[in-house]
Amino acid sequence: MKYKLVCFDVDGTLIDNLTFSWQLFHDHFQTDEHKRDDAKRKFYNKEISYREWAEHDIQLWKDRNATKQGFFDAIDNGKLRLMEGAMETLLELKKRKLKLAIISGSLNIILEKFIPDCNDIFDDVFLSRIYFDEKGSISKVEATEYDMEGKALAMRKIAERENIRLGECAFVGDYLNDRKIMEEAGLGIAFNCRHDELKKVADVVIEKKDLREILRHII
Ligand SMILES: [Mg+2]
């Protein structure tokens, strides 16, 4: 088989009706917009790291007393759902012994809702994690370092460990933060993508919103 590792983005790729999980939760918990904008600007000016930005924004959720149930309400209200054909696609790739990974800036709570057995399906899961105490309040946070340009680093890390060449790696994603990893992967698939900048660096562009469409390009 030409490809040995398939990496997936989450928001907009494995999960439908979603561009940014962070935005969804900020809207739901009605966090302070000025503080959000300020942290975002600091990140883009390289004054703070991605991880610091993420931790800052999670603190805003804490300030609003966000609970686990609140996160699930946001997911329900946003009408999020698993992408059409996602499960069949993942299981087919797994059956064919390909390594599977999630490399995403999304949050563990979304996967917990839609792919509760994700640790059995994926060999590696890179995303930000929030944990809750018995009352449902946020107790601990582990923000990922592997969003944006960092996504490519995560793929290289897996490839190195597994002795796989980058040319044998495939990546599926939808947004501009996927650009760098899309360029580095042997097969870059732009899926459910509305951005020409990403489509331009992709090897394959899939317009039909059914994840099974990726299979014939990988297998
Ligand atoms: Mg995405």
List average pLDDT for each run of 10 residues in the chain, which is 219 residues long.
95 96 97 96 95 94 96 97 98 97 97 95 97 96 92 98 97 96 98 97 97 97
Q: How many separate domains does the chain show?
A: 2
The letter for the amino acid at 214 is I
Q: What is the pTM of this model?
A: 0.95
My answer on whether 12 and 26 are in the same domain is no
User: Last residue of some domain: 77, 93, 116?
Assistant: 77
Mark whether 40 and 131 lie in a shared domain: no
Give CA–CA dist 43/45, Å, rounded: 5
Backbone φ/ψ region at 116: left (φ over 0), alpha (ψ -120 to 50), beta:
alpha
Going from the Cα of 14 to the center of ligand 1, the distance in angstroms, rounded, reads 8
pLDDT of residue 1: 78
d(CA 112, CA 77): 17
Candidates 54, 62, 11, 12; CA nearest to 36 is: 54
Same domain, 89 and 127: yes
- List, for residues 109-137, the tens digit of each pLDDT value: 999 999 999 999 999 999 999 999 999 99
Domain end residue (candidates: 77, 93, 110) = 77
Who's near 49: CB < 8 A, 6+ residues apart? 43, 145
Q: 204: domain CATH number?
A: 3.40.50.1000
**93 and 45 part of one domain:** no
- End position of a domain, from candidates 37, 56, 77: 77
Q: How far is the CA of 182 from the centre of ligand 1 (A)?
A: 12
Distance 192 CA to ligand 1 centre (A): 9
Choose among 180, 14, 194, 186: nearest CA to 113: 14
In terms of domains, do 104 and 155 share one? Answer: yes
Distance (Å) from CA 180 to ligand 1 centroid: 13
| 140 and 213 co-located in one domain | yes
The pair phi, psi for residue 157, each rounded to 5°, is -60, -45
Range of the domain at 67: 21-77
